[in-house]
């Protein structure tokens, strides 16, 4: 293998290892202005976009120990979008851009070191942000405790109401 190819494959492998998420998209048919617009939107979202040869992506995935299904092969034009943190906003940018420009579509992705299909990568765009998901999970975890406290409070309150009515009855009779 040539020295340039070795350096590029190690660069792609390092991107895959250090990024929280990667999306592989097709962009065939886009002009330079459209591609620059996509890159600018992604950059303002904290993501980066590179056009990488499919063979280098496959070498990078293999060296990063990402298990790729055997039937998955990278063909055609492929852009690599990567970043750190929550993949949701980046997936939304890609999906919205794909609605405007029909050439953009998810091919596949890697989320926290796990390979996902194009459909799964696109479905990430429909999820709420990570903060909203965490708060929903917290609400689900707290619900049984809140319900238990409400039941215990109701029992104590009913005893207090009985004693108060007994006290009122005693005061009225005297």
Segments making up each domain of the chain, as ranges: 3-127, 129-174
Residue 151: the pLDDT is: 78
Q: Which residues fall within 8 angstroms of residue 106, CB to CB, at 6 or more apart? A: 23, 24, 25, 94, 95, 98, 118, 119, 121, 122
Question: Residue 148: pLDDT above 80?
Answer: no
Dist CA 157 CA 151 (whole Å) = 10
Say whether 95 sits in a helix, a strand or coil.
helix
Question: Residue 105: pLDDT above 70?
Answer: yes
Residue 83: the pLDDT is: 92
Model confidence at 1, pLDDT cuts 50, 70, 90, reads: low
Percent of the chain with pLDDT over 90: 10
Domain 3-127: state its class. alpha beta
pLDDT tens sequence across 165-174: 888 888 888 7
Top-confidence range, 18-32, 59-73, 130-144: 18-32
pTM for the model stands at: 0.73
Alpha-helix residue ranges (DSSP H) falling in 45-87: 54-63
pLDDT tens sequence across 126-147: 888 778 878 888 888 888 887 7
Residue 161: the pLDDT is: 81
């Amino acid at each position: 293998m040539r020295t340039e190819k070795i350096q590029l494959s190690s660069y792609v492998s390092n991107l895959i290892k250090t990024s929280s998420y990667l999306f592989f998209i097709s962009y065939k048919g886009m002009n330079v202005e459209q591609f620059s617009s996509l890159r600018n939107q992604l950059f303002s979202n904290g993501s980066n976009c590179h056009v990488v040869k499919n063979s280098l992506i496959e070498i990078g995935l293999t060296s990063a120990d990402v298990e790729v299904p055997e039937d998955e092969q990278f063909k055609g034009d492929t852009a690599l979008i990567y970043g750190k943190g929550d993949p949701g906003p980046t997936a939304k940018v890609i999906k919205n851009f794909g609605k405007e420009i029909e050439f953009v579509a998810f091919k596949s992705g890697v989320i926290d070191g796990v390979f996902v299909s194009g459909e799964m990568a696109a479905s990430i765009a429909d999820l709420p942000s990570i903060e909203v998901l965490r708060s929903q999970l917290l609400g689900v975890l707290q619900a049984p405790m809140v319900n238990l406290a409400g039941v215990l409070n109701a029992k104590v309150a009913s005893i207090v109401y009985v004693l108060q009515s007994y006290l009122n009855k005693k005061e009225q009779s005297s």
